[in-house]
Amino acid sequence: MGVYKRENGSWQVKVRKAGINLSKIFASKAEADDYERQILYEISRKAYRDRREAERMTLGALLRRYKEEVTPTKRSAGIESVKLDVILRDKHLPLVRMSELTGKDIAEWRDRRLEHVTGATVNREIDVLSTAINHARREWGVNIPENPVHMVKRPKKANQRARRVANEEERYLIAALTPTQRREDGTFEKSARNPWLRPLVLLAIETAMRRGELLALDWEHVDLKNRTAHLPTTKNGDARTVPLSTRAVQILRALPGDHHTNGPVFPTTANALRKGFTRALARAREAYLQDCAQAGTAPRTKFLVDVHFHDTRHEAATRLSKKLSNVLELSAVTGHKDLRMLQRYYHPDAAELAKKLG
């Protein structure tokens, strides 16, 4: 036991005490001495934790294992997988060993992300990162003193989002999501290749269902005769049965293929939906600009700009509020337990409210 100089000039620490057998190499004697003192102190206090797994594993390896073993067990697997992929694409953070991971590493990654996305997006990615690290500490023996995410300042929350999809914007978006017929030469015009995206977006606007709920919807739980769609699991953990309008039933009946008694209503993935929706927005905006140029009118700068799939839920809640004046009925459809949360999605027009006042 002790600190020894090796032939190549490095320094080796060997600790054999209280059933613990460690050996580690350092570049300098000072580092080796500090390490030996720290280990012996922890052993004397019965506070020693084996760091070898943390020293072997990089954050990238941890996240990849978490994505493979843990993420598929979650209801939000598709969304979480996308967030993990975003973190893994960073050029620096995934390469850091867990034993050396600090709040500074995560803060620098946070700042890099904020150059491209909003604080709200980064906060959601930080949540996934923290959850994965906590799981590794509890379940995989990755012993680090604390989760470094807890030392990082979170980005400020932006003002509550109030973006609605205007009728004209919806018209261009749906057109961009509509698959086109093959040309005589065998090629296609620019259009959606995924036949499930258009009806999925239409149903989202009609029902206020979340993306995850739509992707998890199974024919076994759809009753077209009684116009209901049952969701056994939702974001808040409770089951919910969504009433279907006549329009919603028409959308479901018109879906391609046979209507089976089970199986997914929309056999596509969260990643395919995200990519397809983003591409459709770009095509829709391009078509709008072309129409403006042909008509000789100035395009609106915010037309189809900063539109997210989740905005369909905002729009649906607002439209449903005109049919369901009772806020409890509205919350039963949208699935909000807390009426304060419902306010984030319900955006009535002030002029329309003024008319109701008389």
Active site residues: 210, 235, 310, 313, 336, 345
Rg (CA), the chain: 27
Burial 208-239 (b: 16+ CB within 10 A, else e): bbbbbbbbbbbbebbeeeeeebebeebeeeee
Q: Integer distance in angstroms from the first to the last C-alpha of the chain? A: 88
Q: Which helix (H) or strand (E) holds 322?
A: helix 311-323
Cα–Cα distance for residue pair 222/265, rounded to 1 Å: 9
CA distances to 1, 170, 190, 305, 328 from 292, in Å: 80, 16, 19, 16, 43
Q: Which helix (H) or strand (E) holds 13?
A: strand 11-17
How crowded is residue 172: how many other Cβ atoms within 10 Å of its Cβ? Answer: 21
**Burial environment of residue 1 by CB neighbours within 10 A (0 to 12, 13 to 18, 19 or more):** exposed
What type of residue is 345? Answer: Y
Q: Which helix (H) or strand (E) holds 16?
A: strand 11-17
Please, what is the Cα angle at 303 between 302 and 304, to 5 degrees?
105
* Token code pair at residue 355: 């008319």
DSSP E strand boundaries for 199-253 = 222-223, 228-231, 240-243
